[in-house]
Amino acid sequence: MKYLSRADEILLLAILRLKNDAYGVSIIKEVEKRSRKRLTFGSLWVSLDILHKRGYVDKRMADPSRRRGGRRKLYYTVTARGQEALQSVRDLSRSLWRGVPNLSGPGPD
């Protein structure tokens, strides 16, 4: 399995955290809140489109009655395949960190 990039991992985790409220603005706010990284809408849409093409996220249009300014929100959910990819990244990270000494002290000179 191909591992997720760190940016893809962050996006998928943000979508999972947002549950049924994962749309463009809420995803950007969640990513910025958790990672202190700034996202543009352009980069977000490109990344979400790639994740959708890979089968990691599904997208759906909001209920037609919830229109705002003539446009409906596009909501995202993490698919089972996306959850498997996240689990693989989590397992890899745990494996890499296992046995690494505590990093809280002063480093070697």
Cα 65 to Cα 58, 68, 69, 70: the distances in Å are 21, 9, 12, 11
Q: Is residue 100 part of a domain?
A: no
Residue 10's pLDDT is: 96
Q: Is residue 46 part of a domain?
A: yes
Q: What are the tokens at 34? A: 């958790």
Residue-wise pLDDT for 84-104, tens only, equals 999 999 999 999 999 898 888
Domain membership of residue 26 as a residue range: 6-91
Q: Is residue 103 part of a domain?
A: no
Q: Is residue 104 part of a domain?
A: no
- The reported pTM is 0.84
Q: Please tell me the distance from the alpha carbon of residue 71 to that of residue 39, in angstroms, as a whole number.
A: 21
Q: Please tell me the distance from the alpha carbon of residue 54 to that of residue 35, in angstroms, as a whole number.
A: 24
Q: Is residue 78 part of a domain?
A: yes
**CATH number of the CATH domain containing 62:** 1.10.10.10
Residue 63's pLDDT is: 75
Q: Is residue 80 part of a domain?
A: yes
Q: Is residue 101 part of a domain?
A: no
Q: How many domains are contained in the chain?
A: 1
Helical segments of the chain, H only: 6-18, 24-35, 41-53, 80-97
Q: Is residue 97 part of a domain?
A: no
